[in-house]
Structure 1
Amino acid sequence: MQLETIWIILAVILLVLELWAINVVLRSTGGWETKGLWLVILIFVPLFGLIAWAMFGPKREMADQRKS
């Protein structure tokens, strides 16, 4: 497999993960300030924003959803 093909596959995976994260942020129950901040981070700093969101973002809401 050529190196260009690998980069394209990785870019598509990153794009899909970004779109999924943006969808989850928009559907979350947080305030608009929090949503807006996460959206700006996810859009303008894609890879590091996705990592930061995965570490600090959805944990609290996911735990609440599991309880109910």
Structure 2
Amino acid sequence: MFTNLQPDTRLFEALENAGAVHEVVPSRGEQFQECRARPVLCRPKLLPLQSMSLEKLERLQAEAQQRARQST
């Protein structure tokens, strides 16, 4: 039935010689714009290197050392 299944080279040559597709924007009438969903990038959330309780403990120790120096 289908003994000659060779591709039509004329069609492929015509497509290659056609070149790039040029965009045509009408001056009147309806114009459509396709909206594509894009990922939204947000600022990175930086984690503190020290925990809040450790910072508070260090601050209390520094205040205690400062009071000890002032009393002597």
Same fold (TM over 0.5): no
Range into which the TM-score falls when normalised by the shorter chain = 0.3 to 0.5
TM-score (ref. length: structure 1): 0.33
Richer in helix (by share): 1
TM-score (ref. length: structure 2): 0.31
Larger radius of gyration: 2
